[in-house]
């Protein structure tokens, strides 16, 4: 299995949220349901204040707490690339995964009565394309691919101030800060 993951370059991100919008468009998400979100954190102190923007979706974690706690086993980690998916034939819509993901990745659909989330644009990837957040970012601040390669290229950090500790779920995420 080649585990896939995301690389987020916080030094490049300008917080424009194009990734959020392109993802909403691709997945036809109504107001309030966002598979990818941009969080803005203020850090530092005068005279060196800093505003950091962090684009986050599901990190297809190695220790997915969402999956561990899902009562129906609807959440599973796909064998071939470690993508964490939700089987809608099983999901009961209890929203327990919402309380168990550090990154607010599971997003409830009132219409479906089930939980939904980022699937790394599986359909696009089957056609050899990249996830839509990656291709839409004007700053090229998001990369997607085998996590080993991303780590080789950008290091292994997956923590940043304001983000819960990566020890909780071991996200497949690399952050440049």
Partner 1 sequence: MNDWSLLIFTIAIQAAIGSIWMLWMFQFKHKKKTDQEIFQLFKVPLIVIAALSIIGLGASFSHLGTPSNAFNTIRNIGSSWMSREILVTGMFIGIVVVACAWALYRQRISPWLLFGAGLIGLVDVYCMAAIYTNSLVGPWNSIYTFMSFYGTTFILGSVLAGALLTPVLYKQKKDLEAKQFLNIAFIIMLSGVALQVIGVALFPTSMQEINMIGETVETAILASYKGMIASRWIISIVGIALFGYLTISTFKKLYTRLMILTLLLFVMSEGLSRYVFYLLGS
CB of 148 to partner 1, least distance (A): 25
Name which of residues 88 to 107 contact partner 1 (CB under 8 A): 89-96, 99-104
Among positions 10, 16, 38, 94, the unique one binding ligand SF4 when judged by CB under 6 A: 94
Q: Choose one: 8-16, 42-50, 135-143, 162-170; the region binding partner 1 (CB under 8 A).
A: 162-170
**Among candidate residues 59, 99, 102, 65, the one with its CA nearest the CA of residue 83:** 59
CA distances 89 to 86, 107, 113, 125, Å, are 9, 17, 11, 23
Q: Which residues bind partner 1 (CB under 8 A)?
A: 39, 56, 65, 68-74, 89-96, 99-104, 108-110, 112-115, 162-165, 168
Q: Which residues bind ligand SF4 (CB under 6 A)?
A: 58-61, 64-66, 70-72, 74-75, 84, 86, 91-97, 101, 103, 105-106, 115, 117, 169, 171
């Amino acid at each position: 299995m080649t585990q896939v993951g995301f690389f987020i370059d916080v030094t490049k991100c300008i917080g424009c949220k194009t990734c959020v919008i392109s993802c909403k468009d691709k997945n036809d998400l109504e107001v309030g349901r966002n598979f990818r979100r941009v969080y803005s954190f203020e850090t530092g102190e005068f005279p060196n204040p800093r505003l950091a923007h962090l684009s986050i979706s599901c990190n297809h974690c190695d220790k997915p707490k969402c999956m561990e706690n899902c009562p129906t086993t609807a959440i599973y980690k796909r064998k071939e690339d470690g993508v964490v998916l939700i089987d809608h034939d099983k999901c009961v819509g209890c929203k327990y995964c919402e309380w168990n993901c550090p990154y607010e990745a599971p997003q409830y659909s009132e219409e479906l009565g089930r939980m939904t989330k980022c699937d790394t644009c599986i359909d696009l990837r089957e056609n050899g394309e990249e996830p839509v957040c990656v291709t839409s970012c004007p700053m090229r601040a998001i990369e997607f691919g085998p996590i080993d390669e991303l780590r080789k290229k950008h290091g292994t950090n997956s923590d940043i101030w304001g983000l819960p500790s990566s020890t909780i779920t071991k996200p497949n995420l690399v952050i440049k800060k």
